[in-house]
Structure 1
């Protein structure tokens, strides 16, 4: 045998395994990513552990194969591939391409046949061969030089099938696997087999007679029994089933072993996909280093003291920070530049100089920036105000193309517009533990090149916005919002540390009590946080039925435990224990770490991130504090006003996305329901279930609510079935009934798809665009994703635009009226303020009025509000 190793991968099988093994995940653009992520993990493991010299990903070419000529019902009855998976195949193939792994499919043949044919060629050439799949049919290919690795549970647990392993497990040779399938069939492929013959019976028959042919050669010698009757009656089915289960090893493949030579991935291309799909953990762990390219030296002046002579009417202001967490990041340099002059000062001393402070606060001096909000927050840290910001490259670029997000640095963003005269930060600073500031000269060059990019890109980016009729969205909404958000972030929100600490103590006490109860129910002490120990308790000692197994034992994942609810009282206690543990570690301890010296948390709003325009929040994320369980809601008790005798005031839009959908679709029934202030979920339940209002029960309303909000997010029958724990068929009926009941919504969705196909994008009420190049793709899966996105983006994006407009209007009202009330937070459709008691009555009238009239729709916007001494009390 040579030292050549061929790895042949069943692509469809692994993609399915990854999809169903991981929860549904999406990136900021709404692209589902769980299958692609899982597939990536598998590829990484394969490449690192097997170190192949040759490799291939084989794909099924289509629904019809040569086997259908033998048995037309072959693979019949399979459920349609969930669209959440279908849309990911294009990204998986793109990923495989970036890994430089050859891919192949063959019309009328399955991936199994490609693998079978090439593995035989590899055997004949003396190569070691590894086959990887989730389909045990492929175990028939095992030989002395071929190992078939079959996925068991999860995405990395593989069982290695060699001839000896197959003998030990089944008492069969690899080729007898075909006979076993012939007798017992295979429900997953709709191979019938002999009805009534299961795996044990098939193995017993083969032990005695070696093959299907042997069974029937000796059929007359068998004692009379029902089994014999079934074998006699279904002889033809047995032979057909064996034929269907036999992998073709002489398929007319047009590739050779030599063409499968594998030299490793193109990591820059791989990283680009990881960045697009936001595989942050993989990016952080990757050893790939960005290389700095040679750039021409530039002239600049190092300033020791700012004077009026340095400042012009229109300049780029750039503040170079060591990290993206600008509320705490070290200031490395400050740059002021035009196309002819470049000035730089090291460190943060600029902010202590009166001339520079006057320049920052001079609204008549226009300042071009990369990220106005960040620079405003940094200025506030040093007691300065940033005014006169006339350009924000990050926001302008993001609006022109939402796929450009703040997760990219300035250099990556600039490349989108053809400007490449600046290095990426990683190339200059390194990353992870190796990250450090470079020598002064290199640092200054890097910061100045960033300033140059901002200066030179202002005109072309703004021209593009004007051409696309998006300049108003940028200039009148996003740019002023950046200042509003910057002010909110810098002001922060007060958190009572003692309240959080007391909650932590109380939670630990509850956890101890639950732990005692669990141990009593189990009859012994064990480590509840150990999946291995917990699995032994549940499935061996208590005797519950195992649902999944992992490499280390029984799976005790959340989905497994949820399916076991009701079978034993210990399950509910374990699920509660885990919920409270997460509250303790992620939220209570996490929030405590984020409290600054002023006793506040200063979250960062990511304004240039999502494809719909919604804001997200980090350090800490205040938009995902759990509110479904009381212990989670109570965390909001720690959020308090920063002034004594003030209150917190919360106002949120009621069902804003449904109201936007009513306005945009002009569905008569939907519009009328909102105009008449009816309960929309009850109305939907009446229509979908064809019942009167008094006959709508809680389950009907819950299903209607899931459909109402699901439609907005482009939910599929699979997605709805998972949400409601019903069959896909029932979910499809719900959706069909909904669209029949609200024909205007159906027409709106059809029109959205037509517009996207015509123009290549969809828009919100304020002309925010989302480009959908895949809408005309010949690839069904990519096209399907684009169509769902075309339907839901205008609604989600318009709702996001409305609350942004409300925030700007509120900020102006508070300032113009001279009110002391402060806007603190935006959490999805909710705004939170801190209010002095003498302004509360005025705020109770002003906030709803401003929010409800941020835009005028054909249905009323409705705002619910409340106040209290803590955020918790506002609900």
Structure 2
């Protein structure tokens, strides 16, 4: 039986902050770029309490303006807290709007903390015979616990809820009475609230004192029983102790009154709540809300409008189904109240096809479809090593089929051959999640996947580039469905993990077809969202065709010479040892250069290279790259440490690692190009990352020597866009001076130097050109005078003057940058020349650091993104030409603005013309695109 006399009081900010920080590494961002983590987390906590506890009395309490009384007592109270994140500031009004629509009382008083409001209401309600539950993760509330007042700590990270009564508080804090928690907090202080406490008193000592003396006052009156420094410290800081206890005390006499009728949970404005949730894109929460606050028949009758439902309720008994059943008539268990549908409670029909007749009938059906989702199950995530275990198919919601493949590869090939007509049918659309993987696996079986493609991962990347794109997240976000984890079938990663081939056929069928079914359903959502953002062409004409290009490049791989790398490794070992020796000589002792702690103590402790060295949160000296770079010019030891780090990383990450990544079967290195990682649209390279090989140092460049042609009859060709980002910014800003320089084929950096330094073009010095080059590229990324000074030999004031002169020379550039920021402020995003959007949720943030970063992105994202889009167009066109004209040349790598090809020598002349033509004409700007082409017996020579 649910008790009728229970009051639940929620500590709003504590729950909101907890939700925000729980998701800070993987925030929930909707298609508008809005971070909804705090709102979603708070609503989950609220709904969980309502569903689990079925309260009849409830209120949500907010802080407003901090605690005036406590700051008057102690100016430093909570002074150490960081500024409230902008996301939380933006979320609170929305949460209050939802609560208002739900008819839930919001309690807040200017100058009072939620703790005090809760404390006052709890004590008043207790006197009237109510049980009170304070819903908060905040330990301070333990002081209010009594026979009828309880702490209610919401579930977190898979742990259940905790209800603390008197016994739990006694056990946690070692006190006899909960009110002694005030003394406990006063003695040991509280860093989060900046309550000082008694110096030298931690948790153990506080518990000991409470056992011995019982209270702060008794401790201070009996310091004669203490000894040594502890006695001195406590006597000297008695007033601080008394103050700390006052600061830790939750007030119970606020100007607020408890009247039970004002706290009753009543019928919400369903239509209003659903409207807000729709705007936030809370699909799962909408469904949970409807289950809790509508009757089952209302949930199932989708044809009725919300207004109809409201009218029906009002005409009925006046009761609403707060704790009613879901659409299936079964109550959702509180422990499962994530609200996700799962395989076990969702109608589905998943069949495995394992007979000759079954396969024949299945193939007839399959080949009649216009659009089919498929998903391969394999023995490995590495496509070159992956053998097919099975393929799942789905072309109707809730239905699908699974075909299992034998371990014998000849038999598996025979079965795949029966599916070949489907995969190579130009008229059937193929749907998948991360289709590049499936295409590469099928290529191992000599199958080419033809026809239109729809990749849900790619579609979502275009819709919302900053969000995660894995299927579990997409299913939960868009379908309110939580797919079965693969670990349920094969176990967690490690030596005991099974292969999919070891799992029972029935289980694999359910798992695999579920993936195909869910992906098929996701496609419906993403088609509409691509339309809404006017990005169908970017998806269909750029990213999808590029998927096929990248699959071919990854399967091809590139030849790497082990011997060159081995020789380089030996040379690096000697160089690293020499640098170590020189560092130790300057330091006057040997230490572990790779240890930030030891290095910090040498540089900042012993050698004192900085007056006020920067420290990390843990109190250690910071030896981060940007910190050390500042001192490198003036301190040879720092310069040598940075060189040591660079060579050590080069050796471990590339020189020693690359030979291990040469595939046994192909003898080549096969990187993976990721389309859905960089929010700007750039590709990223992984396993191994070939885009980050350092090229500014001689040793870094030598790594490129190891990348060689297929054989003596081939040559490597490197085609590199020349200053493409500067050309794009010149075109987008319509800056005539810069446009003319490009049209006239001038050296843009020398041209810029001539103008900003006011000298004839033929008199520009090497240093002036270098400084102009730094500004040219730095402007795109919002370089400051401080940053420019660090990158050049210019002083801070000289750098400031140079930047100001630069903007005077190119006035339209500044106008363009301002326009981009203004566009972002109004629309929440910026876009590339092909319409790719980059959402900037912090563009209107109050925090200047956060806002400035968003403003820089507003300028550089369209430029970087446009460069990325243009080279993608070129790659698609070159790939098509190579196939149509039957060239043997292969495109191997894309490294930002550069493409690498393996070219038979007899095709070289034709290929140079073709590549230059396609790259320079990939997109028409008002300035010409220019491509530099080089060839050689290795990548370095070609570049």
TM-score between both structures, scaled by the size of structure 1:
0.67
Alignment of 1:40-51 (within 5 A): none
Distance 2:141 2:801 in 1: 45
1:806 aligned residue: 874
Matched, 1:411 2:478: no
Cα displacement (A) at 1:786: 4.3
Alignment of 1:453-464 (within 5 A): 453-464=518-529
Aligned partners of 1:549 and 1:788: how far apart in 2? Answer: 27
2:863 alignment partner in structure 1: 795
The match for 1:641 is: 709
Deviation at 1:583, TM superposition (A): 1.2
- Pick closer, same or farther for the CA change 1:132–1:825 going to 2, 3 Å: farther
User: Residues 417 and 248 of structure 1: is their aligned pair in 2 closer, same or farther, counting only changes over 3 Å?
Assistant: closer
Pair 1:771–1:515, CA change in 2 (3 A):
closer
Partner of 1:397: 460
Q: Specify the SS of the correspondent of 1:300.
A: strand
- Distance in 1, Cα, partners of 2:200 & 2:588: 48
Measured at CA, do residues 646 and 384 of structure 1 come closer, stay the same or move farther in structure 2, by a change above 3 Å? same
Per-residue deviation, 1:744: 2.0
Question: Deviation string for 1:74-127 (max 9, x for gaps)?
Answer: 9xxxxxx99xx9879879999xxxxxxxxx9999999xxxx9x99999998222
Q: Equivalences for 1:78-93 in 2 at 5 Å?
A: none
- Counterpart check, 1:473 vs 2:534: no
Q: Distance in 2 between matches of 1:695 and 1:61?
A: 62
- Residue 803 of structure 1: how far off its partner (Å): 0.3
1:625 Cα deviation (Å)? 0.7
Q: Which residue does the alignment assign to 2:656? A: 589
In structure 1, the partner of 2:273 is none
Gap change, CA 1:686 and 1:491, over 3 Å in 2: same
In structure 2, distance between residues paired with 1:60 and 1:511: 58
Cα distance in 2 for partners of 1:644, 1:463 equals: 52
Q: Any idea what SS the aligned residue of 1:650 has?
A: strand
* Farther-moved stretch of structure 1 (462-471 vs 429-438): 429-438
Q: Following the alignment from structure 2 to structure 1, what is the Cα–Cα distance between the partners of residues 85 and 762? A: 41
Does the 8 A contact of 2:483 with 2:515 survive in 1? yes
Structure 1 counterpart of 2:681: 613
Map of 1:519-668 to 2, 5 A cutoff? 519=584, 527-530=592-595, 547=613, 558=625, 561-565=628-632, 569-597=636-664, 598-668=666-736
Secondary structure, counterpart of 1:833 in structure 2: strand
Does the 8 A contact of 1:372 with 1:483 survive in 2? no
In structure 1, list runs of 5 or more residues that go unmatched: 1-7, 20-26, 37-57, 75-80, 95-103, 149-162, 179-246, 257-287
Aligned to 2:374, which of 309, 317, 323?
317
Query: Is the 8 Å Cα contact of residues 89 and 781 (structure 1) preserved in structure 2?
Result: no
Q: Matched residues in 2 for 1:774 and 1:133: separation?
A: 29
Conserved? CA contact 1:65–1:107, under 8 Å: no
Question: What is residue 858 of structure 1 aligned with on the other side?
Answer: 926
In 2, Cα distance between equivalents of 1:254 and 1:131: 23
Tell me the alpha carbon deviations over residues 514-537 of structure 1, each in whole angstroms, 9 at most, x when there is no partner: 444445555665554455665676
Pairwise CA distance, 1:632: 1.0
Instruction: Report the Cα offset of residue 607 of structure 1.
Output: 0.9
- When residues 704 and 432 of structure 1 are mapped into structure 2, their CA distance, relative to the original with a 3 A threshold, is farther
Q: 1:562 to 1:404 in 2, by over 3 A?
A: closer
Q: CA deviation at 1:756?
A: 3.5
**Compared with structure 1, are the counterparts of its residues 520 and 732 closer, same or farther at alpha carbon in structure 2 (3 Å cutoff)?**
closer
| Alpha-carbon distance between aligned partners in 2 of 1:518 and 1:727, rounded to the nearest angstrom | 28
Instruction: Measure the CA separation in 1 of the matches of 2:477 and 2:603.
Output: 54
TM-score (norm 2): 0.62
Larger Rg over CA atoms: 2
Distance in 1 (alpha carbons) for counterparts of 2:615 and 2:533: 54
Tell me, in whole angstroms, the C-alpha distance in 1 between the residues paired with 2:786 and 2:253.
Answer: 37
1:356 corresponds to? 419
Match of 1:510 in 2: 575
Q: Which residue of 2 aligns with 1:345?
A: 404
Task: Spell out the pairing of 1:12-23 with structure 2 (5 A cutoff).
Answer: none
Which residue of 182, 195, 199 maps to 1:125? 182
Whether 2:320 is the aligned partner of 1:299: answer no
Distance in structure 1 (CA, Å) of the matches to 2:767 and 2:451 = 55
Q: Does 1:825 align with 2:880?
A: no
Structure 1 residues 525 and 716: CA distance shift in structure 2, 3 A: closer
Counterpart position of 1:190: none
Structure 2 vs 1, CA of residues 297 and 862 (structure 1 numbering), >3 Å: closer, same or farther?
Answer: same
Cα deviation for residue 365 of structure 1 reads 4.1
Contact 2:350 2:513 in 1 (8 A): no
Q: Which has the higher contact order (CA 8 A, sep 6+)?
A: 1
Per-residue deviation, 1:604 = 0.8
Find the aligned partners of 1:798 and 1:254 in 2 and give their Cα distance: 61
TM-align CA RMSD: 5.8
Deviation at 1:379, TM superposition (A): 1.6
Deviations 1:837-863 (A, max 9, x none): 111122222211110001111001011
Contact 1:681/1:708 (<8 A) preserved: yes
Q: Deviations over 1:645-695 (max 9, x none)?
A: 211100111111121111112122222222222333344445555665567
Matched-pair contact (CA < 8 Å) for 1:369–1:389: no
Q: Which moved more, 1:365-374 or 1:859-868?
A: 365-374
Q: 1:388 aligns with which of 451, 454, 457?
A: 451
CA contact (8 A) 2:420 2:447 kept: yes
Partner of 1:746: 814
How far off its partner does 1:639 sit? 0.6
The Cα of 1:492 is off from its aligned counterpart by 0.6
**Is the alpha carbon distance of 1:648 and 1:174 closer, same or farther for their aligned partners in structure 2, counting shifts above 3 Å?**
farther
* Secondary structure of 2:453 counterpart: strand
How has the CA–CA distance of structure 1 residues 850 and 172 changed in structure 2, closer, same or farther, with 3 Å as cutoff?
farther
Residues 1:495 and 2:495 aligned together: no
Tell me what 1:713 maps to: 781
Alpha-carbon distance in 2 for matches of 1:366, 1:545: 64
SS at match of 1:127: helix
Q: Does the 8 Å contact 1:373/1:486 carry over to 2?
A: yes
1:728-772 CA-partner distances (Å, limit 9, x unpaired): 887666555544433322332333344334444332211222334
CA change 1:753–1:525 in 2 (3 A) is closer
